[in-house]
Every structure is written in structure tokens, then in C-alpha cells.
């Protein structure tokens, strides 16, 4: 059968055989699902943790998280977002993303991308709920049902001995990987509170020689110093070196990468596929770290993952959330083959602000991917409607 004959036979099929009618085709939704028009967008402050609710006329509401790094701007951006997407069909996720990206072009930057991220996550939650499927099904289906996590610590103020103790405790709890802070954040080679090698040596001694260990410098060094530090990290069998030099300087990061054998990671401060294309073209990193609550949401992070995969790189999302953002990240990682390494779980004491009825708690270093409709989470009754 030639192509013309095949196309003709398909168009001759009755609608019942083609499983689609004119309205379904025009609205990009499965047959029998009515339009879900966006009626409102609200920022909810849950004891300092801000998340978005997106409402529809069909009674299906979605939740999404814009990165808490945006602070009070998350609430302010809602008033800019709402008029752009009011009345649009929640199923048209890509169209809405483009509307927001173009509509916010006068304020384009990471703050705008954080707001877009929150809305995009909420839209996936809505569509998943409407169809009765988890978000990872919308993203292509799960290639893994549980995710290996690494214990991430964010303080630079504790002694090497105290940090080593916390890392050892996390390994005893079942984690097989951990990450600590080194350097003086954005310090331009300023000495950290405790010497880097003392910190690394103590932690490595406490967790043993086989446990994966990463470090995050948060843009702390110049290129020559970052290379010296990197060689020290290699001696202590450190797995990955995150953001060794100012994150804005892709060429400098590429210099560090070229000089070392250790894995170089970066990208938590970047957003949209356009930034990450520049990072990849510069040869700056081995692993990209686009954050689903910062980089443009699930829609954009899937595109960034494809760029990384095509370039032979890894993708380990940055994630400091314990709530909605973490749920979105789990669905992303579950459905994205290139996310092969352990993923971030913040273990910093006092950092957890739970707004979920059932908080995420790793078991033997793993988190199960939510299987309920949408994001598959329930909010604590205090924050539910």
C-alpha cells in the first residue's frame, strides 16, 4: 500500500474507529473529556511556603511550586500571570507555556521562569487528575518506579567533625550517596570557615571509601583555585564537583572541566532550554542540574533533558523542596531515562517545612514515585480547600 492509499484509507474510517471527533481533535484532549478553562490562579502562603493553585471551571484544581528562592515575588507574579492565561484550556500546556514566556518578556529572567514553573507543574497536576493518571504517564511513562536519592547538606557553618557525623548517619539510614558544601559561596577564593580539605577528609573517613560523595562550591573559586581544589577532591575519590566557579561564566567552568577527571555539575541557577543550550555548547558540564521549580517547569525540563541526552551528558535535577516541587521532580526523573544518577534530597536539620498529608521520607535511600492521579499527593488539611 502506497502512502496516498494509506492516508485515504485512514480518512475513510468512521469516527468510532478513529476514536476522535472534530471537537476532540480541535481541543487536543481524549474523547469525552470536556474543556477545563482556567478561571483563577492564586498564591497560597502555607506558613512561609508559597505554592500556586490553578482553578478550572470543571472543578479540577492543580497545585504547583515556584521555587522558594523567589520569596515574595512568587505572589506578585500571580497577578501578572493570571490575566495572560484566564479562559485558556488547561489541557493546552504548551500553548500556555508559550503565552507566559512571551507575555512576561519584559520581566524575563529566572523570577519569571519560577512563576512559569509553578503554573506548568499545576497544569500537569490538573490534566493528570482529569485523566485519572499520574503525571509521569503524561511525560512519557515511567522507566523507573523508585528513585535513588542522595543526602544533601547545605550548611557551611558546622565543623568538619560535625558534618562528618551527619553524613555518616545518613549512610546508616540507607543512603548510598551524600553531598556537602565547600568553599566560600561566591567567595572569589575567599577562605571558607573550615578548610576544604579538612571537611572532605573528615567526611570521606566517616562514610567509608565506597560511598558516593559530592561537593558544591556555589561559585566559590577562580579557575586556577578550582582546578587545585578539584585535584584534591580527586585524591579523596569525590564523585562530583558542583558549580566550581561563577555560574555565569560558562567558559571558565569549561576550563575547569577540561583540566579535571572529576564530574562537573551545574545549572541550578539557569532556566529555559535557551540557557542550557549555551551551557552545553560551551562544554561546561558533564551533568546539568535544571530545577523543575526554576527552569520552566516539567514541560521545559523535559526539553532540557533531551538536549543533555543528545549531547551525551547526564541530568540530575537540583531540588531543595520536600513538597510539591519534590513530587514534580520525582515524576520527571521517573519518566526521563537520562536521569540515571542519585537525586537530591535535602537532609539539613530543620529544613523540612511539610505541607503534605504524607511527607516524603526515603526508605533505604529511595523514594517511591507517586502513583495517584496528577502529582499523586494530598495537602495537609490545613492547606487544603
* Residues involved in catalysis: 318
The C-alpha atoms of residue 223 and residue 244 are separated, in whole angstroms, by: 8
Q: 50 has which bridge partners?
A: 45
The C-alpha atoms of residue 324 and residue 355 are separated, in whole angstroms, by: 8
Q: Which residues contact 41 (CB under 8 A, 6 or more apart)?
A: 52, 53, 54, 55, 78, 81, 82, 85, 86, 119
The owner of cell 585535584 is 231
Angle at 267 between CA 138 and CA 335, to 5 degrees: 20
Q: 345 has which bridge partners?
A: 151
Half-sphere exposure of 148 (CA within 13 A, CB side): 12
Output the CA–CA distances (angstroms, integers) from residue 299 to 18, 47, 176, in the order listed: 28, 28, 30
Pairing, β 287-288 against β 146-152: unpaired
Contact between residue 289 and residue 317 where contact means Cβ atoms under 8 Å apart: yes
DSSP string, 198-239: HHHHHHHHHH-SSSEEEEE-SS---HHHHHHHHHHHHHTT--
- In terms of Cβ atoms closer than 10 Å to its own Cβ (0-12, 13-18, 19+), residue 348 is middle
Whose CA is closest to 233, among 203, 266, 200, 202?
A: 200
Output the CA–CA distances (angstroms, integers) from residue 271 to 44, 109, 220, 294, in the order listed: 24, 8, 21, 6
Amino acid at each position: 500500500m502506497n502512502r496516498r492509499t494509506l492516508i485515504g484509507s485512514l480518512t475513510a474510517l468512521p469516527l468510532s474507529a478513529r476514536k476522535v471527533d472534530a471537537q476532540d481533535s480541535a481541543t487536543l484532549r481524549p474523547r469525552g473529556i470536556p474543556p477545563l478553562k482556567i478561571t483563577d490562579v492564586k498564591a497560597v502562603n502555607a506558613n512561609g511556603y508559597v505554592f500556586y493553585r490553578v482553578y478550572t471551571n470543571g472543578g479540577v484544581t492543580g497545585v504547583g511550586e515556584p521555587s522558594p528562592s523567589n520569596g515574595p515575588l512568587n505572589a506578585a507574579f500571580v497577578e501578572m500571570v493570571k490575566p495572560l492565561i484566564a479562559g485558556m484550556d488547561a489541557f493546552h500546556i504548551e500553548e500556555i507555556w508559550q503565552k507566559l514566556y512571551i507575555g512576561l518578556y519584559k520581566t524575563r529572567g529566572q523570577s519569571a521562569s519560577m512563576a512559569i514553573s509553578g503554573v506548568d507543574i499545576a497544569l500537569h497536576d490538573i490534566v493528570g487528575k482529569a485523566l485519572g493518571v499520574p503525571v509521569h504517564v503524561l511525560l512519557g511513562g515511567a522507566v523507573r518506579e523508585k528513585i535513588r536519592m542522595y543526602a544533601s547538606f547545605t550548611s557551611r557553618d558546622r565543623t568538619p567533625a560535625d558534618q562528618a557525623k551527619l553524613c555518616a548517619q545518613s549512610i546508616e539510614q540507607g543512603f548510598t550517596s551524600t553531598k556537602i558544601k565547600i568553599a566560600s559561596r561566591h567567595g572569589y577564593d575567599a577562605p571558607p570557615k573550615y578548610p576544604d580539605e579538612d571537611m572532605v577528609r573528615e567526611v570521606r573517613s566517616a562514610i567509608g571509601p565506597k560511598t558516593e560523595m559530592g561537593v558544591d562550591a556555589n561559585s566559590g573559586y577562580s579557575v586556577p583555585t578550582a582546578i587545585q581544589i578539584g585535584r584534591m577532591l580527586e585524591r579523596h575519590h569525590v564523585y562530583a564537583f558542583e558549580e566550581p566557579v561563577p555560574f555565569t561564566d560558562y567558559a571558565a567552568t569549561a576550563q575547569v572541566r577540561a583540566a579535571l577527571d572529576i564530574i562537573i555539575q551545574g545549572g541550578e541557577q539557569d532556566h529555559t532550554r535557551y540557557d542550557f543550550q549555551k551551557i552545553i555548547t560551551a562544554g561546561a558540564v558533564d551533568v546539568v542540574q535544571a530545577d523543575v521549580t526554576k527552569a520552566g517547569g516539567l514541560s521545559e525540563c523535559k526539553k532540557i533533558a533531551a538536549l543533555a541526552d543528545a549531547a551525551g551528558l547526564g541530568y540530575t535535577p537540583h531540588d531543595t523542596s520536600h513538597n510539591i516541587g519534590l513530587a514534580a521532580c520525582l515524576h520527571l526523573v521517573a519518566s526521563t531515562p537520562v536521569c540515571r544518577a542519585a537525586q537530591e534530597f535535602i537532609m539539613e536539620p530543620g529544613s523540612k517545612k511539610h505541607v503534605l498529608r504524607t511527607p516524603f521520607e526515603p526508605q533505604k535511600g529511595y523514594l517511591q514515585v507517586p502513583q495517584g492521579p496528577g502529582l499523586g499527593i494530598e495537602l495537609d488539611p490545613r492547606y487544603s480547600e
